[in-house]
Structure 1
Amino acid sequence: MKELSIKPEIHTFDSCEEFINSFNLRKEDLIITSEHTYNSYFKNFNLKSNIIFLRKYGKGEPSDEMVESLYEDVKDIPYKRVIGIGGGSVLDVSKLFALKNISPVVDLFEHKLEFIKDKELILIPTTCGTGSEVTNISILELKAKHTKLGLAVDEIYADYAVMIPELLKELPFEFFATSSIDALIHAIESSVSPKATAYTEMFSYKAMEMILKGYQRVRDNGPEARIPILKDFLLASNYAGIAFGNAGCGAVHAMSYPLGANYHVPHGEANYQMFTGVFKTYEALKPEGNIKKLNAFLAQILGCSEEAVYSEIEELLNVLIPKKQLREYGIPKEELKDFTESVMTKQGRLMANNYTELTRETVYGIYEGLY
């Protein structure tokens, strides 16, 4: 049985300058990033690389339309390395551009194109959430198919994952909140996945501990208390990425996708809206499995009883993002049936990692309870 796989080499640098010198950035590189990140941290180095600003191609979650437009602009550039510097959107898109065959991107996501990696890939996160730098997953909103879908193939693993805490210094609190909540849920979901091993659990549990203790500091001392411990959050996100990259995420992520795709709710926030509903359901359906171990661990960190774990987490996360009812996003109740159908028919990759089986009726019941 395979216990753990970590594909990219992982490097850490205190500054962007150290990274630039160590990796010898050059004109054969294609750098995909945001204009803000480039201007704040890289512009002064007068790089000769090909610079692409992802937001030129659209706002919100990355989509097939954005990738197709970007592809048209870079397909004739003879680049040899792809360097993605950004949040989850930038990293997920960057992975695709290390492939020989990119377009039509819908065909790529439907496995109709051959997966050939012919460029070196370096991924550098600027948030503390996705863990995308160490996973083989790229997620796009496929507007042509009216859904959000994940592509998971080994050809989109990075060659190098690079951690630079300096890049998080200007991360606004709201993005810190949504991204780090995403990392927390990566860690929690992967810890109860049927694919979890002693090795993945080690990364899952360490990530949970670092994130929750960090949140307690923010709760007790205010938003600025995050600044001295941003490196901890960056590492925790990376640990969670290693955990879920091996063990997988489940129903929380699967059920959040319709909310993100149809109502453009930030990914971490959408996950938070689903989290306690899913885990309370798991607990009711299968109380004696790995969730019992998880609850005991969380209770110790939170200083509460095992029965109060999810209420306590919700209270802590509400310091970062207030919990909403699904109706507050403008979702008509009748659309919950469409959400359920989408999850059960299009998110099999994720639902296979559920702690215990969730039926169509159970999924609808969770949505209804959160409405």
Structure 2
Amino acid sequence: MGSFTIKPVIKTAANLTAFFAQIKVTPQDVILTNKYILEPHISLADLPVDTIFLEEYLTGEPTDAAADRLLERLNQKDYQRVIAIGGGSVIDNSKLLVYGSGLKIAEIAEKGSRLPKKRQLIIVPTTTGTGSEVTNVAVFNFLQKKTKMGLAFDQMYADQVYLISQLAATMPYKVFATSSIDALVHSIESYISPKATAFSKSFSVTALKLILTGYTKMIFANTTGKTPQGQALQSFLEASTLAGVAFGNAGCGAVHALAYPIGSEYHIAHGQSNYLVFGGTFKKYTELGADLSEIEALLAVELNVAPQEVWTRLEQTIDQILPNQPLSQIGMNQDKCREFAKSVITNQQRLLVNAPLKLSEDDISAIYESLL
């Protein structure tokens, strides 16, 4: 029997000034963010809090080594509340900080379900894709293992989430494109997951419709290449959070599993890594006889095509937002296909169990090879 949970309280604020007034910041709070996110909107000198800029510890996506440096920094003071303002890297790192002082990521990975939560967590997402703000999942590149792995413990749920579209307005277009594609993949993978329920599917469908409607409007208005603004941007933010609720309950599947080694090895944005393997993964599902009729019927209505044409039309639509490329163009070859397939089987069972059917190592290698 399935279950459905929404943990954080989700709120909105007109701008950062209103947000800080609502949460009543104190010297016992610490902000984790990026300088380029905060500085255009507010003077940090006006806030009675310490601020940590993630770029001083990390460039690119989260790693276990950078996480340990950040955990050590938080040992310097007895903070009571962590305020994370940023994209996926900021959000995922902030979730480790709820456990208090004196820990490293390896200990959290091993004992996170048993360790007490010692700090409250407030998250403000500033991209249109992570969805992580409403989940208990944090993904890190474990450097020695040469792959990304997800940690998922209930202690890492945020206590509150605030959506502030003002903060996403200056998001570079490629960040918008890759993050919104990530949210679209979240909505589709969570819908076809064996763990999906009627409740999680309702969130998946709403997110999917918002994203595809937004893409269609951009294409017809010839505004691809420019980050949406105003209500259009707010809709993408809401879609990201809705998709986050969906995959937080039903999980993501093989697309994410296959994307993780690519992102780790080639330092490619997560949403783009997902898109690189999305089409090949769903072609393999079809080849192996997965029942995708329900999602195909939904997509057929949204894309105005016959059900058997949805995957081709979907890729054509996404290509107008961010053109795809063969895996060979990022440096992959057949040896890497086999290496990554082995890594996925070894390290990504948390995700593979959410696929609509079981994929073997040979299946996964074949997916990669078909995309070279």
What is the TM-score with the length of structure 1 in the denominator?
A: 0.96
**Does the aligned pair in 2 maintain the 1:190–1:247 contact within 8 Å?**
yes
Distance between the aligned counterparts of 1:306 and 1:369, measured in 2?
23
* Cα drift, residue 104 of structure 1: 2.4
* Cα drift, residue 113 of structure 1: 8.4
| Equivalent residue, structure 2, for 1:265 | 268
| Equivalent residue, structure 2, for 1:129 | 129
Distance between the aligned counterparts of 1:217 and 1:79, measured in 2?
45
Distance between the aligned counterparts of 1:112 and 1:179, measured in 2?
27
Secondary structure of the 1:226 match is: coil
Distance between the aligned counterparts of 1:2 and 1:297, measured in 2?
22
Go from structure 1 to structure 2 and tell me whether the alpha carbon gap of 1:68 and 1:134 turns closer, same or farther (over 3 Å shift). Answer: same
**Does the aligned pair in 2 maintain the 1:109–1:150 contact within 8 Å?**
no
| Equivalent residue, structure 1, for 2:85 | 85
Identity value in percent: 39
Distance between the aligned counterparts of 2:356 and 2:42, measured in 1?
43
| Equivalent residue, structure 2, for 1:249 | 252
Query: In the TM superposition, what whole-angstrom CA distance separates every residue of 1:61-89 from its partner, at most 9, and x where no partner exists?
Result: 11111111122222121210001000000
Indicate yes or no: 2:169 matched with 1:169. yes
* Cα drift, residue 308 of structure 1: 1.3
**Does the aligned pair in 2 maintain the 1:190–1:204 contact within 8 Å?**
yes
Distance between the aligned counterparts of 1:26 and 1:127, measured in 2?
26
Query: In the TM superposition, what whole-angstrom CA distance separates every residue of 1:225-272 from its partner, at most 9, and x where no partner exists?
Result: 722300000000000000000000010000000100000010000000
Secondary structure of the 1:324 match is: coil
| Equivalent residue, structure 2, for 1:193 | 193
**Does the aligned pair in 1 maintain the 2:173–2:227 contact within 8 Å?**
no
Q: After the TM superposition, which residues 32-181 of structure 1 pair with which residues of structure 2 at under 5 Å, given as runs?
A: 32-43=32-43, 46-100=46-100, 103-111=103-111, 114-181=114-181
Distance between the aligned counterparts of 2:326 and 2:236, measured in 1?
28
Q: After the TM superposition, which residues 332-371 of structure 1 pair with which residues of structure 2 at under 5 Å, given as runs?
A: 332-371=333-372
Query: In the TM superposition, what whole-angstrom CA distance separates every residue of 1:317-361 from its partner, at most 9, and x where no partner exists?
Result: 111211111010012321111100000010010011111111111
Distance between the aligned counterparts of 2:189 and 2:2, measured in 1?
19
Question: Please, which of 285, 288, 291 is the counterpart of residue 285 of structure 1?
Answer: 288
What is the TM-score with the length of structure 2 in the denominator?
A: 0.96
Give, as a single letter, the amino acid of the residue that structure 2 aligns with 1:20. F
How many equivalent residue pairs? 369
Go from structure 1 to structure 2 and tell me whether the alpha carbon gap of 1:101 and 1:86 turns closer, same or farther (over 3 Å shift). Answer: same
* Cα drift, residue 204 of structure 1: 0.2
Secondary structure of the 2:148 match is: strand
* Cα drift, residue 206 of structure 1: 0.6
Secondary structure of the 1:98 match is: helix
**Does the aligned pair in 1 maintain the 2:2–2:195 contact within 8 Å?**
no
Query: In the TM superposition, what whole-angstrom CA distance separates every residue of 1:111-138 from its partner, at most 9, and x where no partner exists?
Result: 4884221111001100010111100001
Secondary structure of the 2:162 match is: strand
* Cα drift, residue 303 of structure 1: 1.1
| Equivalent residue, structure 2, for 1:231 | 234
Distance between the aligned counterparts of 2:278 and 2:284, measured in 1?
10
Give, as a single letter, the amino acid of the residue that structure 2 aligns with 1:75. N
Give, as a single letter, the amino acid of the residue that structure 1 aligns with 2:86. G
**Does the aligned pair in 2 maintain the 1:282–1:356 contact within 8 Å?**
yes
Query: In the TM superposition, what whole-angstrom CA distance separates every residue of 1:249-297 from its partner, at most 9, and x where no partner exists?
Result: 010000000100000010000000111111122123235x3x2010111
Secondary structure of the 2:354 match is: coil
**Does the aligned pair in 1 maintain the 2:276–2:324 contact within 8 Å?**
yes
Distance between the aligned counterparts of 2:219 and 2:123, measured in 1?
31
| Equivalent residue, structure 1, for 2:30 | 30
Secondary structure of the 1:25 match is: coil
* Cα drift, residue 101 of structure 1: 5.8
Go from structure 1 to structure 2 and tell me whether the alpha carbon gap of 1:112 and 1:84 turns closer, same or farther (over 3 Å shift). Answer: closer
**Does the aligned pair in 2 maintain the 1:84–1:94 contact within 8 Å?**
yes
Secondary structure of the 2:370 match is: helix
**Does the aligned pair in 1 maintain the 2:72–2:102 contact within 8 Å?**
no
Distance between the aligned counterparts of 2:303 and 2:113, measured in 1?
47
Go from structure 1 to structure 2 and tell me whether the alpha carbon gap of 1:176 and 1:254 turns closer, same or farther (over 3 Å shift). Answer: same
**Does the aligned pair in 2 maintain the 1:107–1:113 contact within 8 Å?**
no
* Cα drift, residue 3 of structure 1: 2.8
Q: CA RMSD in A?
A: 1.5
Distance between the aligned counterparts of 2:9 and 2:269, measured in 1?
29
**Does the aligned pair in 1 maintain the 2:165–2:233 contact within 8 Å?**
yes
Indicate yes or no: 2:296 matched with 1:317. no
**Does the aligned pair in 1 maintain the 2:113–2:153 contact within 8 Å?**
no
Secondary structure of the 1:318 match is: helix
Go from structure 1 to structure 2 and tell me whether the alpha carbon gap of 1:85 and 1:296 turns closer, same or farther (over 3 Å shift). Answer: same
Which ranges of structure 2 fall in alignment gaps of 5 or more residues?
none
Go from structure 1 to structure 2 and tell me whether the alpha carbon gap of 1:299 and 1:42 turns closer, same or farther (over 3 Å shift). Answer: same
Secondary structure of the 2:40 match is: helix
Go from structure 1 to structure 2 and tell me whether the alpha carbon gap of 1:194 and 1:202 turns closer, same or farther (over 3 Å shift). Answer: same
| Equivalent residue, structure 2, for 1:275 | 278
